[in-house]
Structure 1
């Protein structure tokens, strides 16, 4: 039975890899065929077939292409030339995709702005890409108005509004209606290459200001076609897309990949856990795109009849935590979870085609030369890979945690090995590891700690910067989070390390959001003692009403680390793992001072 299961997994892995490779190998051969060309071809092929569906508007393939033509003409009429940038800040809707396809069609690049940002953080995102125009959805005009005075760009970009609003900006949607939707003659369009820039997609900013990742046309083609192949999307499929379209998962994978197969995409403005299953059933979706925290929210919702009546055949995404995965798959009767790992800007891509729970992907031994990814030893304290006596990095053995890195090649025949970097050259430089295994080589640093087993499965350990060192041992925040999250009464948890005066390293601290009925702290203390080694057990528990999350549901930690656990700074209730009583005791200023002066050792 075990042998058959292993054989079945190998077959699933090979089938998935072959589908993905078949879908992408042609891209490098026709270097002047890019995504806007594909949309035009799909419009000719499918015409009246439904492409994008939402509560705001629904486009057929022909309408999507026509709308893109109108935006292309608007851009050209307003001075956008090949190489220019237009910034877009708009809520999820079909016109979002139509807009950036249109700008790309005439050679422009589009910066996809995070709709959750305001003020100087948003101004930073605009300034670093130096756009000629900024297009803002009417519902976001106040957010952009708060940033506009801080935009440092010369000349300043012209601001347009999409939809009716209060600001005195011209309306891009009305301007587009004045333009023809007919195909633009080929001799009026610039020659485009897969090497040309297409999009700027920003990192989430969990560890500082967001960085604008350069996405060229090759990467856009590879992502959309590769995931179409990886999921085995069929024309009769319908994708449920509720993730932000300013990120790769929502805006390119979920919204773009189904179109390659002639399928349809149901677009929602945002994820709503209470409505998710009803909406999936009512819309008749067969595919859904997730991020890990979305799945965790769903398993914490009350049961509904719809969660068993859906027609999903596959869910695709990344970040599904090992402690959530079995319950998510069992409770919602998911036939197949396609977990993957990739960075928007990076060259490391992993797929878990066989559903092995907990694995973010696999590179079998017979594909290691084609996909040069290594896991190197990493020093958590200095934040750098470990180098041996010869000055080169040391590759980790099976099950040994280290940083995952991917070989950077500027070989035209291997465009997937490229690293296009960021708008900020310094940010680009920090992501490249040089002279790692031989003089002159260059590797993309993922910033993630992973371990790889003997069969080539990769398992996520932690983000670099999240892992901390306490009592001479490395502590992975993900491991601690998983242990705490399964304790009754825990709704959310965010684990990080904080400095304690007079102590080396960082002490473990967990911000816990309890369920409505509260949490048994005495039981939690016993639980972590049973589940975790002594050095990994949280020294301090902070009780909060909610976690601070990014627009893609990622946890923010920088401010929490900075606040630490001094009751004079932190207003939330905190509890110390008291070494004498063996339980979590209320942490007040007096007790904190005892720890800080080492009258009480933790």
Structure 2
């Protein structure tokens, strides 16, 4: 080939490339996304085939880098070697309990090293860790423990945790032993055992792998509780296969052994544990834990511990932006922020003020069968759903994902004249669904009915079935998808899913209530939706101060703080749909706007420990986020 011919061919190739980019500008973003997601898929498949489970990953790192810092917590260093010795103590203690592989142990522990070595110790024996939400109290707490069929309960260090368990201990099966971290035996009431004392009595000898030789990809690792569709918290099943997939999620942002990840969201959630902890174990990196999130100390910690990866939820970012600006805001070593719920209205402000080089927003669900991730930095997007991505995702994970049209009024998919669901087009909204693999055996422990509610059948052909994420999304002209809202009977507030049924059950028990409808309403400058309850009273009763006080006390006693309604609306009649479900659409549209609502409206008055009338002045304070 002559030099002239080479120049001509090169020019032709350049023109062709330019033409492709002009005609299909989204192809480059597809290639970038596929390159990142393929890393997760390839490594997940490799470890699944070889049976490299989470506990094997950890013990591998202990041998490889025993002296390396595994956990940083409250200015203390915990090496892989030390955490392993504590996990061995937990395992050797658990050996004395006479449990069999697959039995559950309920743990109620804050974000601290004890959470990690307790989990790892149980995994050494093939036991299942039921991650109990430490915000839960009373009925939800009791239910979470009982439904897990836990044989033992372990409570972390903290008087609040002990008090919560103590309030329900008489309703727990009498033969469940209860171990407590952080206290000597002499400090504990009857029936409680000191975990610290018991761990000192056992040796840190390594557990032989033959003890867990019967583990398979279907064997359970833990229960992660979710509101699911309705009702009380449900233990979502996380088996070894799912845990392996979770442990590779950060591969999409090139996570490696030199990284340090900062985790301040609760470890009982899949993002903090499955992503932050499991990915750290997989590559032998370092994790920084903080017991509770602090906006004021957040960037101090990031700088002090030389953090390279931060894990966020949208509301966390909003809290950080409310902290007064500082000259050190952008001084850190963070290379990527990974999380979900970062809304478009603060995305750019968060990125520029704190000089975040890369934001990787993802979308998923603990019990979901796939995830989406935005690795290209498109503001507000949760991922891509282009024709190429649809084919690529099915080829990688064996399940296909779709976005289908949805009737939000009747809470059901839109179907054509053949009874099949209709994929959305660019510029339309719909719900995300993903295929269910043949190995499916339910999403929740012991509740196939609840699992069935998450399934949509006969979607594109007779007999097929898909997992319904229950979230409404929008697709733009470049095939990027954006979260719009939750549909059905849950909404998100304070980084937690709130079950409307759970809140309804608490308020409806009060003697003066006839009916209750709970829903989420938008509050300016806030992420998610704040809880609001529309209440109809029995007979001709009028709203009285004692009633408001009773609602406050009942919610405080029975519900975690994030689930307590911020607003009450008292109405004579509650509308229902043709299927006798509560109609929420008009209530949601009204929100807590007293100019639109003729009914009396009240707000959660923490100072007075009741619900007080929502006046024009108070309404304005809410709107400007000063409440």
Query: TM-score category by the smaller chain?
Result: 0.7 to 0.9
Change (3 A) 1:500 1:46: closer
CA distance in 1, matches of 2:316, 2:529: 15
* 1:338 maps onto 2:360 in alignment: yes
Deviation at 1:104, TM superposition (A): 1.7
1:137·1:163 contact (CA, 8 Å) conserved in 2? yes
Match of 1:273 in 2: 295
Match of 2:5 in 1: none
* 1:399 maps onto 2:420 in alignment: no
Change (3 A) 1:275 1:568: closer
CA distance in 1, matches of 2:204, 2:478: 52
Deviation at 1:19, TM superposition (A): 2.1
Q: How does 1:214-253 map to 2 (within 5 A)?
A: 214-224=237-247, 226-253=248-275
Q: How does 1:357-506 map to 2 (within 5 A)?
A: 357-369=379-391, 370=394, 371-410=399-438, 420-465=443-488, 481=522, 484-485=524-525, 494=529
1:409·1:418 contact (CA, 8 Å) conserved in 2? no
1:240·1:280 contact (CA, 8 Å) conserved in 2? yes
Match of 2:578 in 1: none
1:396·1:402 contact (CA, 8 Å) conserved in 2? yes
CA distance in 2, matches of 1:431, 1:145: 34
Match of 1:193 in 2: 216
Deviation at 1:56, TM superposition (A): 7.7
Deviation at 1:252, TM superposition (A): 2.2
Deviation at 1:199, TM superposition (A): 0.5
* 1:109 maps onto 2:128 in alignment: yes
2:535·2:569 contact (CA, 8 Å) conserved in 1? no
* 1:21 maps onto 2:41 in alignment: yes
Local SS of the residue matching 1:285: coil
Match of 2:10 in 1: none
2:104·2:148 contact (CA, 8 Å) conserved in 1? yes
Change (3 A) 1:249 1:465: same
Deviation at 1:234, TM superposition (A): 2.3
* 1:78 maps onto 2:97 in alignment: yes
CA distance in 2, matches of 1:65, 1:211: 30
When the two chains are superposed, the root-mean-square deviation of aligned CA atoms in Å is: 3.4
1:408·1:442 contact (CA, 8 Å) conserved in 2? yes
CA distance in 1, matches of 2:443, 2:89: 30
CA distance in 2, matches of 1:136, 1:500: 37
The superposition leaves residues 16-44 of structure 1 with CA deviations (integer Å, 9 ceiling, x where unpaired) of 123222321213312x3311111111111
Local SS of the residue matching 2:461: coil
Pick aligned residue for 1:131 from 150, 174, 199: 150
Local SS of the residue matching 2:168: helix
Local SS of the residue matching 1:116: coil
Match of 2:600 in 1: 567
Change (3 A) 1:389 1:149: farther
CA distance in 1, matches of 2:535, 2:93: 58
- Unaligned ranges ≥5, structure 1: 412-416, 469-476, 486-490, 502-546, 578-583, 587-602
1:120·1:150 contact (CA, 8 Å) conserved in 2? no
Local SS of the residue matching 1:26: helix
Deviation at 1:228, TM superposition (A): 3.1
Match of 2:137 in 1: 118
Change (3 A) 1:312 1:585: closer
* 1:33 maps onto 2:52 in alignment: yes
The superposition leaves residues 255-312 of structure 1 with CA deviations (integer Å, 9 ceiling, x where unpaired) of 2212322211111101101111111111111111001100011111111233121111
* 1:352 maps onto 2:374 in alignment: yes
The worse-fitting range, judged by mean Cα deviation, of 288-297 and 428-437 is 428-437
Change (3 A) 1:553 1:142: closer
Deviation at 1:208, TM superposition (A): 4.0
Match of 2:109 in 1: 90
CA distance in 2, matches of 1:97, 1:200: 15
1:207·1:556 contact (CA, 8 Å) conserved in 2? no
Change (3 A) 1:315 1:365: same
Match of 1:145 in 2: 166
User: Structure 2 length normalisation: TM-score?
Assistant: 0.74
Local SS of the residue matching 2:466: strand
CA distance in 2, matches of 1:467, 1:427: 14
Change (3 A) 1:376 1:191: same
The worse-fitting range, judged by mean Cα deviation, of 174-183 and 337-346 is 174-183
User: Structure 1 length normalisation: TM-score?
Assistant: 0.77
- Unaligned ranges ≥5, structure 2: 1-17, 492-518, 537-554, 572-586, 588-596, 604-610, 622-627
Deviation at 1:157, TM superposition (A): 2.1
Q: How many residues align?
A: 511
CA distance in 2, matches of 1:124, 1:197: 20
Local SS of the residue matching 1:69: helix
CA distance in 1, matches of 2:279, 2:527: 32
1:119·1:150 contact (CA, 8 Å) conserved in 2? no
2:261·2:286 contact (CA, 8 Å) conserved in 1? yes
Deviation at 1:78, TM superposition (A): 1.0
CA distance in 1, matches of 2:292, 2:345: 25
Change (3 A) 1:585 1:217: closer
Q: How does 1:541-560 map to 2 (within 5 A)?
A: 560=568
CA distance in 2, matches of 1:556, 1:443: 32
1:214·1:423 contact (CA, 8 Å) conserved in 2? no
